[in-house]
Structure 1
Amino acid sequence: MAVDDHPLLLDGIKAALSEQPDMKLIAEVMNGRDAIEQFRLHRPDVTLMDLRMPGMGGLQTLREILTEWPDARIVILTTYRGDAQVMSALKSGARGFMLKGMMRKELRETIRSVYAGRRVVPSEIAFELAQHAGDDVLSPREVQVLRELARGNANREIAETLKVTESTVKAHMKSIIAKLGAKDRTHAVMLALKRGILEV
C-alpha cells in the first residue's frame, strides 16, 4: 500500500512496481484516515507512508496502525533528513526510511528488504542520527517554548500563552540553547527546524 498526498508520487510508485512479478500495489491513499481503513481491508505486506500529510500525519498514522497490527511493516517516505522525526518514527516501529529523491534507485530493494524482516535506514539519514545520538532531548515544554518563539513571540508573550512566568521562559530558553548547541534564539529555531524538532 502507498500513502502520500501527492498524486505524482503515487503514480511513480505504481510505475516502479508495475513490472515486478513479486510485487503488487493493492491500495493507494492520500491521507492517514484512509490509510487505516485500507490497511484494515487489505492487510498489506509492506506499507509506504509519507511522513508529512495534512490532517493525520504519517507518524500518527504509523502509531495507530501498529497499535492494531504490531507486525505491520511500514516504510516512511520523506524529503526530509531531520533526525528528530526519524528517531520518533523508528521508536514508534517504522521498519525503514526512504528519501523521496532516492526512490527511483532504491524503492524495490527497500520493499524486498523490509518484507524480509530487515530495517532499512539510508546512509544519509543514519549519519544525521549518529550526529545527534548523544544529544540531550528537549522536554515537551521546551518544544512548546521553541514553537512559540518560532511564531515570533517574545518571552512575555510566550509566558502568557503557556501560563508561566517570564523567568521560567528565560530558563527554558537557556536550556534549549545549551541542548541544541545554538548560538542564540534564532539559531535555536533554525536548528530545530533542520532537525525536525519543529515543523514549518
Structure 2
Amino acid sequence: FLDEIGDISPLIQLKLLRVLQEYEYERVGDSVTRKANVRFIAATHRNLRERVEQGTFREDFYYRIRVYAIEMPALREHKADIVQLCDAFIDRLNRRTGKTIRQLSPEALNSLMDYCWPGNVRQLENAIEHAFVTCQDGSITLADLPGEIRSVRERQRECARAGDGPPMPWPPRRQRVSIEKLLGTLGECQGNQAEAARRLGIDRTTLWRRLKRQPPQS
C-alpha cells in the first residue's frame, strides 16, 4: 500500500513505473535483478490529473496506477458516518487504554457534526484520541475536544447569545412531543445515545440532529 503517492518525487515515480511495467527491481546496494509479484494499492488526497498537467507527476505513471480508481468523498460530505466512526474509535481506544469511555455528550457530538474536517477521517480519529487524553469520566464533553473544533461551537454560542441567527425551531407540536420524549428517554438511559435511539426506534444520526435543535446548556 502506497500512501500519499501524489507527493513522491519524479525519481521514485520512475522507479515504481519500472516495477509496474517490468515487474522487476533491485534492492538498495544490490545489483541482482529480482522479480516482483505484488499488487499495488495507492492513495492520495491530491488531484493527480492536475499534477500531470502541471508537470509534477509523470503521465505514464499516472495511467499505470489508475487502472481502477475509487473516489472517496470527503468526510464533510458524509457527516452521517461520523457517529459510527466515533463509536469505532472509542471502542478501539477503550481496549487500547483500558479506559471506559461510553459516549460523546450531545454538545460534543454536535460540534463534531458542525466541523468541516479538512483532514477527513484521520483528523476525526486524532480528535477522539485527543479527547481520550483529557476526558476524566465516562463521557467526552465539548471541553475535551481539540481547540479548532471546540471554537466552532463556542462561536455559535456567542451568536446565539447575541441573537445573531438562532436555529429555526421545529413546528410547535412536533417540537413539544418529539423533544420531550427524546429527552425523557435519554435521561432514562443515563445519556446513552445508542440505547436511547434504540428505544425510540430511530438511528443515532436522527437523534443527534434532534438534539442539535436544542439550545446549548449553560
TM-score of the pair, normalised by structure 2: 0.26
TM-score of the pair, normalised by structure 1: 0.27
**Bigger radius of gyration among the two:** 2
